[in-house]
Amino acid sequence: MSITSMSMADLIGAGVAFILTLLILSYIIGDNPLFRVALHLFVGVASGLAVVIAFYNILWPQMIQPLLFGSEIERFYLLIPLVLSGLLLTKISPRLGGWGRLAVAFLVGVGAATAIGGAILGTLFPQALASINLFGDTRVGSGGTDILIQLAESAFIVFGTVTTLAYFQFGTRKINDQPAQHGAALQVTAWVGEVFIAITFGALFAGVYLATLSALVERLGFLVDFIFSLVIPG
Amino acid sequence: MAEIRCPMCSRLNPDELEICQFCQARLKPLIAKPNEPTPDWLNQTEDDENLDDSTGVNQPVAPDWLRSLRSREISHDDLSEDQSMGDPPDWLRAGVDAPDLLSAQRRESNDSDWLADFRSRQSDEEPTETEPVQQEIEEEKLAPLDVPDTTDAEIPDWLSNARFDNDTVNEPAVPELSQPDTDAEPEWLARLRSVHPTEGVGQVPEPSADKDEIPDWLKADGQNLGSAAVDQSFESAPEEEVPTWTSYFEKEGDSADLVTDLNELKSTEDELLIPEGDLPDWLKDGSHQPGPNAEPGEPEIRKDSEQLPDDSPPWYATAPGRPFKPTDQLSQWLRLEASGPDSSEPIPAEEIPDWLKADKEDLVTQSLTPKLEELSIESEPVSIDEGLSSSQFEKIPETQLTDAELHYDEDKADLDDDFALLEKKLFPDGELEQALVTTPEGDDLQAVDDPLWLVELRQKMGDSVEDQGLLKVSPFSEDIEHELPAEAMAGQAIPDWLIDVHAQEAIEHITGDSEPLEISQSFERDSENGLVQADLPTWLEAMRPVEAVAAAAADIMDEHDQSIEKAGPLVGLKGVLPAEPDVTLAHKPDSFGLKLQVSDMQRTRADMLQELVQNEALAKPLPRKPAISSQRILQVVIAVTLILAILSTLIIDTPIAKVPGFPIETGAVSELINNLSSSDRVLVALDFQPAFSGEMEAIGATVLDHLMLRGAQIAFISTNPSGPLQAERLVNIVNQRYDHSYAGEQITNLGYISGGRAGILAFASTPRQLAPLTFDSENNPWDSGSLRGVSKASDFALTMVITENADTARMWIEQFQPELESKPLIMVLSAQAAPIIRPYYAGSPQQVQGIVSGMSGAAAYENLLGRVGIARSQWGAFSLGVLAACILILLGGIINAFPIIGARMQKTNPGGDDQL
């Protein structure tokens, strides 16, 4: 990209981006005011953007506009959300915070229900079914892979799943005068599961690193391109 | 054989003896003859005492001599030896011939006793001015002496001869009194007898008291002292008037109470005979004096010149009728007293003692104590005759007298003074003063009337009495200053007891020597304490308490000594024991301290604990971090390495790494998008954070490019407030990177939906209500536009979720995917979220139909599309960065592994070569 092909907005934006990127990269030498400036600037901009978006995308078109310009039915439908919103705002005052308990309870209830329902219906059951179906006929023999390999993979998956779950079994049993501890099988299984967990964490860490590396690469590329665009015209 | 115990020496003697064979004391007291009725004074005394000898109950008030006398009145037959007088007084035991000081003292004490007794009776009786002293003296004579009972055998002979017995049955023989020798009678006594108030010198003033009350011995004149008339003046005192002491003169063999024979008191050369009429009543009773008128059968006074018993008092020698030597001294005044008012002959002036002849002033000024010269033992005891015939008193010059003596006032004199009292009583009208007129020849009177005790004292003191410089002290003088010749004190060692403060001043006044006398420290200390410290024997010394106790006692005593009584009968005294014990005294109890007793070790530990507690509250300064630490250096190194690796690749822009192959989940995405048509509406949920926009834009741009190539209508939605903006940016990047021109109805930005899970669920069921307008709020995409006919989630041909967070992806999977029915859901994920979402892809039933994750996925997907996008342009840098990271991790692990391995090896083999 060349600086001549960039508009003024883009150019200012690019320049600001360049500066802010450098400010963020100054964290290499440690926490410093430049980094803090960029950090605070980012938080502020993001917060401002969020407020604007929330107003223009939520409050205006779904509450204020129907309330002002909508029909009676629309207004009637707005009555309950409007009351609950008002009650929720009372949480600001400690004296009137008791009034917002209803709205908070509704929000908490709805959120909990959604989360629990989704977790159970969207994750627990399907995943459990999927684990079972690893050895099902739909998987085994499909995809052109060898059945044994598929079975091995399935077994390995199941084994990993079981051992991982065994690791999270904290119940112990006291035998005679010995201190309370797991059984031998459970201890072995938990240890295997601990291995899978460790591998998983490693994979996750790698993924995090890759993600940050990608961001670093992208930012450094930007810097290079900006510099090149400034240095190399056209 | 019966024996009598001597009252003097307490030795046993035969019963028949009258005088003790050891000490010559009279064994049997003399008993007075009860010829006359009891005088009034004795009756009165008897009434007061309530004596009852019949029952044997004796009141303690009445003296013994009186009780014995009364008992004889009651029943003379009852008298027995047991009722005899007890031990004679000391003066009787002492004997006559022994110039024994002790005897003299005894006699003197006895004189004082009878005088004191006389005085006490006088005080008990109702005082009357008219009561003559003579009567009292007569009563005194008649009063029995307070002497213990004694048997006849114990009464000396001389005493037994002089008896005053009121009992008519028992008529002790009165010693026959010889005619008094007027020449032997002392002058003073004669003068005393003959003095009349108007006659002057030599006359004894006639007592104004009733004749009956005047003792007879006082009535007798001086001449009769040595004559029978004198003897006659003495009458036997009534039985009740006879004093007990007269019992000493009981005749031998007479078991009755002894009565002193007044005639025995008279002294001649051999014996003193006093007319019976002249004898005082107290001497008359029981006294039968042989005289011209003496009745036969009456006891006769011994007139033999036998040797006076040794135990006879000196005055006894001068008692009328007593066979004492005329050398025995009888008080001249007594002789004078014996001469009553009937005496026609005045007492010669030369017989009147000086102290009687002197005028009032002289009498006052005269020292009644013997002169210094008289105290000298060198001076021979003056006989009565000599005393009466010569000047007895030497007038003391006024210069030698003190002021008190010079101004001695009879009226103001201390009545306790014996002589003054006696004088006053005897001569209340001052007859004695008038009689004692100093005559020219009487100016040179010599002190003849010296009591025997005084004479003996003088003899006792020895020759050095005068040399010792005794101070001539007047009994009336209270002034410490005495004028003595300086030579009296010169060269003499003054004893310590004599030296005190006052003595110091006196001596200085006397001698004129102001040099302080040396006083021994011990005496000085003792003088201060009022005690003379004695030398304690060793055994007593050992028993003394410890010093602490002694000191405490001394402190206590000091406190008591310092405390002066301020109330009570002991006001003004110091050192008085407190009436209340200290225990009862209210005082504030001692306060004791409540200090905790701790040892040094305990205190040290307590200090340590206290320091620890205090330090807990103190803010400890943090250790100062070094400006450049190893951790900081490592960070910089790693950062620089990565940056250089990436920059180098970006700058060079040389693909140094092979594009990886695409995984299955990425191929599935490609297939699903390839199956889309240009009329299919694809919902793209853009829910990644701006921080991850570099990776996510690279991956999303690739998939979005494929969608654009397929001509699908894309609707963006986001649950992140910045999502809509990120959506627009992405479209622009794709348009720029891949030369697309998606705009208008092909791109619908539905904006932001709130509520998280609930919003997704709500959007999945009613997307129109949740996002009625586009992001720019200008168009309604649901009625016209690319989303026309879309009313639920399943109306979308494909749903793609672009997110870096696995939870967001799960949330879309859990909430939106069930609403999709059979519509595919693909995930464009970051490299960190792919492992978590992959089971949703690998599971059966699949919840996710395709996954494109990370730069590698994007690069592979671009490679699959044959397009060079951001991913493939950054793949080199990305790969080098990954490589650098891998190298750094490996190096770090290796560097950290060696210490751990060495520690483990050392733990397993701690001994090392030693164990080998």
pLDDT digits (tens, 9 = 90+) for B86-112: 455 555 554 444 444 445 555 555 555
Instruction: Assess contact for B266 and B273: CB atoms under 8 A.
Output: yes
Query: What is the DSSP annotation of B527-564?
Result: HHHT-PPP---HHHHHTSPPHHHHHHHHHHHHHHHH-B
DSSP secondary structure code for residue A120 in this structure: I
Q: How far apart are CA B266 and CA B273, in angstroms?
A: 5
Nearest chain A alpha carbon to B831 = A207
Residues from chain A that touch B690, judged by Cβ atoms under 8 A, are 42, 46
Phi-psi region of B679 (alpha: psi -120 to 50; beta: other; left: phi over 0): alpha
Q: How far is CA B376 from CA B107, B368, B371, B389, B452, in A?
A: 21, 16, 9, 21, 13
Q: How far apart are CA B144 and CA B238, in angstroms?
A: 11
Q: How confident is the model at residue B208 (pLDDT cuts 50, 70, 90)?
A: very low
Task: Compute how many other C-beta atoms are within 10 angstroms of the C-beta atom of residue B899.
Answer: 9
Per-residue pLDDT for B416 more than 60? no
Q: What is the mean pLDDT of residues B391-404?
A: 58
CB-nearest partner of A115 from B752, B757, B830: B757
Nearest chain A alpha carbon to B749 = A57
Instruction: Assess contact for B773 and B739: CB atoms under 8 A.
Output: no
Report pLDDT for A149. Answer: 84
- Full strand arrangement of the beta sheet holding B798-803: B747-752, B713-718, B681-686, B798-803, B825-829, B850-853
The stretches of B750-869 forming alpha helices (DSSP H) are: 757-765, 767-770, 806-815, 817-820, 834-842, 854-865
Nearest chain A alpha carbon to B876 = A217
Q: What is the mean pLDDT of residues A105-109?
A: 91
Name the average pLDDT for chain B. Answer: 67
Instruction: Assess contact for B63 and B119: CB atoms under 8 A.
Output: no
Minimal Cα–Cα distance from A88 to chain B, Å?
15
Report pLDDT for B410. Answer: 54
Q: Tell me what ipTM this predicted complex has.
A: 0.90
Q: Is B773 on the interface with A (CB under 8 A)?
A: yes
| Half-sphere CA count of B127, side-chain side, radius 13 A | 7
Report pLDDT for B86. Answer: 47
Residues from chain B that touch A54, judged by Cβ atoms under 8 A, are 721, 752, 754
Q: Is B814 on the interface with A (CB under 8 A)?
A: yes
Q: Is A108 on the interface with B (CB under 8 A)?
A: no
Instruction: Assess contact for B820 and B793: CB atoms under 8 A.
Output: yes
Q: Is A45 on the interface with B (CB under 8 A)?
A: no
Instruction: Assess contact for A212 and B855: CB atoms under 8 A.
Output: no
Minimal Cα–Cα distance from B644 to chain A, Å?
10
> Which of A31, A120, A209, A213 is the mutation pick for testing B, counting most B CBs within 10 A?
A213
Q: What is the mean pLDDT of residues A141-158?
A: 79
Q: How confident is the model at residue B83 (pLDDT cuts 50, 70, 90)?
A: very low
What are B755's two structure tokens? 């509520």
Residues from chain A that touch B721, judged by Cβ atoms under 8 A, are 46, 49-50, 53-54
Q: How far apart are CA B106 and CA B311, in angstroms?
A: 11
Q: How far apart are CA B828 and CA B808, in angstroms?
A: 12
Report pLDDT for B115. Answer: 67
pLDDT > 90 fraction of chain A, expressed in percent and rounded: 17
CB-nearest partner of B885 from A28, A46, A209: A209
Does B878 contact A217 at a Cβ distance shorter than 8 Å? yes
Instruction: Assess contact for B695 and B726: CB atoms under 8 A.
Output: no
Per-residue pLDDT for B664 more than 60? yes
What is the 3-state secondary structure of B691-720? HHHHHHHHHHHHHHHHHHHHCCEEEEEECC
Report pLDDT for B314. Answer: 56
Q: What is the mean pLDDT of residues B289-303?
A: 46
Residues from chain A that touch B695, judged by Cβ atoms under 8 A, are 210-211, 214-215, 218
Per-residue pLDDT for A51 more than 60? yes
What are B862's two structure tokens? 């671009």
Instruction: Assess contact for B355 and B442: CB atoms under 8 A.
Output: no
The stretches of B722-789 forming alpha helices (DSSP H) are: 723-737, 757-765, 767-770
Q: Is B815 on the interface with A (CB under 8 A)?
A: yes
Q: What is the mean pLDDT of residues B27-49?
A: 60
Report pLDDT for B195. Answer: 56
Minimal Cα–Cα distance from B820 to chain A, Å?
13
Q: What is the mean pLDDT of residues B639-659?
A: 82
Taking CB atoms and an 8 Å cut-off, how many pairs form between chains A and B?
Answer: 172
For B472, list phi and psi in degrees, rounded to 5.
-80, 100
Nearest chain A alpha carbon to B814 = A122
> Which of A24, A47, A57 is the mutation pick for testing B, counting most B CBs within 10 A?
A57
Q: How confident is the model at residue B74 (pLDDT cuts 50, 70, 90)?
A: low
Does B650 contact A115 at a Cβ distance shorter than 8 Å? no
Tokens 């979005």 appear where? Answer: B704
Minimal Cα–Cα distance from B867 to chain A, Å?
18
For residue B752, the SS3 value is strand
Q: Is B523 on the interface with A (CB under 8 A)?
A: no
Per-residue pLDDT for B826 more than 90? yes
Minimal Cα–Cα distance from B855 to chain A, Å?
7
Tokens 């006291």 appear where? Answer: A174
Report pLDDT for B546. Answer: 61
Q: What is the mean pLDDT of residues B250-254?
A: 46
What are B127's two structure tokens? 């005082």
For B378, list phi and psi in degrees, rounded to 5.
-70, -30
Q: How far apart are CA A108 and CA A124, in angstroms?
A: 22
Q: How far apart are CA B841 and CA A97, in angstroms?
A: 45
Per-residue pLDDT for B790 more than 70? yes
Q: How far apart are CA B615 and CA B618, in angstroms?
A: 5
Report pLDDT for B801. Answer: 94
Residues from chain A that touch B853, judged by Cβ atoms under 8 A, are 207
Minimal Cα–Cα distance from B793 to chain A, Å?
16
CB-nearest partner of A29 from B636, B775, B830: B636
Q: How confident is the model at residue A9 (pLDDT cuts 50, 70, 90)?
A: confident
pLDDT > 90 fraction of chain B, expressed in percent and rounded: 10
B560/B856: higher pLDDT: B856
Q: What is the pTM of this model?
A: 0.49
What are B248's two structure tokens? 């000493």
Nearest chain B alpha carbon to A204 = B832
Smallest Cα–Cα separation from B300: which of B335, B261, B344, B355? B261
Q: How far apart are CA B779 and CA B139, in angstroms?
A: 168
For residue B634, the SS3 value is helix
Per-residue pLDDT for B127 more than 50? no
The stretches of B77-174 forming alpha helices (DSSP H) are: 90-93, 101-124, 133-142, 157-161
Residues from chain B that touch A56, judged by Cβ atoms under 8 A, are 777
Q: How far apart are CA B289 and CA B234, in angstroms?
A: 8
Query: Which residues are B164's β-sheet partners?
Result: B32
Q: What is the mean pLDDT of residues B587-597?
A: 75
Instruction: Assess contact for B77 and B278: CB atoms under 8 A.
Output: no
Tokens 């741009």 appear where? Answer: B701
Does B757 contact A111 at a Cβ distance shorter than 8 Å? yes
Q: Is A22 on the interface with B (CB under 8 A)?
A: no
**Helices and strands per DSSP (H, E), number in chain A:** 8, 0
Report pLDDT for B572. Answer: 81
Q: How far is CA B44 from CA B55, B239, B700, in A?
A: 21, 14, 161
> Which of A51, A84, A218 is the mutation pick for testing B, counting most B CBs within 10 A?
A218
Report pLDDT for B156. Answer: 57
Nearest chain A alpha carbon to B752 = A57
Instruction: Assess contact for B172 and B254: CB atoms under 8 A.
Output: yes
Per-residue pLDDT for B857 more than 80? yes
Q: Is A144 on the interface with B (CB under 8 A)?
A: no
Query: Which residues are B685's β-sheet partners?
Result: B717, B801
B320/B433: higher pLDDT: B433
What is the 3-state secondary structure of B263-280? CEECCCCCCCCCCCCCCC
Q: How far is CA A200 from CA A153, A170, A186, B835, B892, in A?
A: 16, 20, 20, 8, 21
Instruction: Assess contact for B336 and B191: CB atoms under 8 A.
Output: yes
Instruction: Assess contact for B111 and B315: CB atoms under 8 A.
Output: yes
Report pLDDT for B873. Answer: 85
Does B855 contact A49 at a Cβ distance shorter than 8 Å? no
Q: How far apart are CA B235 and CA B215, in angstroms?
A: 9
Per-residue pLDDT for B80 more than 80? no
B544/B737: higher pLDDT: B737
Tokens 């970051």 appear where? Answer: B830
Does A118 contact B877 at a Cβ distance shorter than 8 Å? no
pLDDT digits (tens, 9 = 90+) for B524-546: 555 555 677 778 788 877 776 66
Per-residue pLDDT for B652 more than 60? yes
Question: Which amino acid is it at B568?
Answer: G
pLDDT digits (tens, 9 = 90+) for A82-92: 899 899 999 99
Spell out the residues 6+ positions from residue B143 whose beta carbon is closer than 8 angstroms to its own: B42, B45, B63, B65, B66, B69, B114, B117, B118, B121, B241, B242, B243, B244, B245, B282
Smallest Cα–Cα separation from B536: which of B550, B557, B515, B517? B550
Q: Scan residues 180-219 of A and list those with Cβ closer than 8 Å to B.
A: 200, 203-204, 206-211, 213-219
Residues from chain B that touch A139, judged by Cβ atoms under 8 A, are 844
Q: What is the mean pLDDT of residues B247-267?
A: 46
Q: Which parts of B203-279 are beta strand (E)? A: 264-265
Q: How confident is the model at residue B568 (pLDDT cuts 50, 70, 90)?
A: confident
Does B752 contact A53 at a Cβ distance shorter than 8 Å? yes
Spell out the residues 6+ positions from residue B814 whose beta carbon is closer than 8 angstroms to its own: A118, A119, A121, A122, A123, B757
Per-residue pLDDT for B687 more than 90? yes
Smallest Cα–Cα separation from B23: which of B36, B31, B14, B13? B13
Instruction: Assess contact for B485 and B403: CB atoms under 8 A.
Output: no
Smallest Cα–Cα separation from B151: which of B90, B204, B197, B87? B87
DSSP run (H or E) holding B70: helix B64-74
Spell out the residues 6+ positions from residue B664 whose beta carbon is closer than 8 angstroms to its own: none
Does B815 contact A56 at a Cβ distance shorter than 8 Å? no
Report pLDDT for B294. Answer: 46
Minimal Cα–Cα distance from B626 to chain A, Å?
13
Per-residue pLDDT for B497 more than 80? no
Does A217 contact B881 at a Cβ distance shorter than 8 Å? yes
Does B831 contact A61 at a Cβ distance shorter than 8 Å? no
Does A210 contact B756 at a Cβ distance shorter than 8 Å? no
Residues from chain A that touch B840, judged by Cβ atoms under 8 A, are 123, 126-127
Report pLDDT for B435. Answer: 59
Report pLDDT for B569. Answer: 81
